[in-house]
């Protein structure tokens, strides 16, 4: 379970990543069609040779990934600076049959988990499958900090 701020950020990420994916797939199809119409010589690199990770490596997709990686990181920092108590109410008859041992919502989510692992399953599984071909994390490091 995620807290509301993460849920809202995740919804925005899914929407933007879906747009980036659609654009990247159009670009990828165009490159492949062009290659079929104008095959190169044996020295010419194929589309797959030039872009071995496929459409997931398009700059639109990488920019979306990076944007939400850093937004998640910033949200984690904000939530760490402003902790909120989880309000637990006294049990009532309305709670009958409810589990009392459910963990509280996650207060922080690792950015690399947010931008990939949370996509798995459900409404965003197609995005997860798409992003699996991006076999590296497109986040640079400087002095042990993401840049």
More reliable by pLDDT, 89 or 133:
133
Token representation of residue 5: 């701020």
pTM of the model: 0.77
pLDDT (mean) for 56-73? 94
How many distinct structural domains can be found in the chain?
Answer: 1
* Structural domain range at position 129: 1-23+47-82+105-147
Cα-Cα end-to-end distance for the chain: 28
Q: Is 109 within a domain?
A: yes
Q: Is 36 within a domain?
A: no
3-class DSSP state of 40: coil
CB 124 within 8 A of CB 20: no
3-class DSSP state of 142: strand
Query: What is d(CA 138, CA 5) in angstroms, rounded to the nearest whole number?
Result: 24
Q: How does pLDDT run across 93-110, given as a tens digit for each residue?
A: 665 655 555 555 567 899
């Amino acid at each position: 379970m995620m807290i509301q701020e993460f849920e809202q950020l995740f919804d925005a990420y899914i929407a933007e990543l879906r747009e980036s994916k659609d654009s990247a797939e159009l670009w990828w199809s165009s490159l492949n069609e062009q290659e079929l119409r104008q095959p190169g010589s044996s020295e010419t690199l194929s589309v797959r040779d030039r872009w071995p990770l496929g459409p997931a490596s398009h700059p639109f997709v990488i920019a979306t990934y990076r944007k939400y990686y850093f937004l998640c990181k910033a949200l984690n920092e904000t939530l760490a600076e402003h902790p909120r108590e989880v309000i637990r109410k006294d049990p009532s008859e309305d709670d009958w049959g409810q589990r009392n041992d459910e963990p509280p919502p996650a207060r922080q989510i690792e950015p690399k988990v947010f931008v990939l692992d949370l996509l798995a399953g459900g409404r965003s599984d197609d995005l997860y499958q798409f992003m699996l071909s991006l076999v590296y994390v497109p986040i640079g490091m400087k002095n042990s900090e993401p840049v």
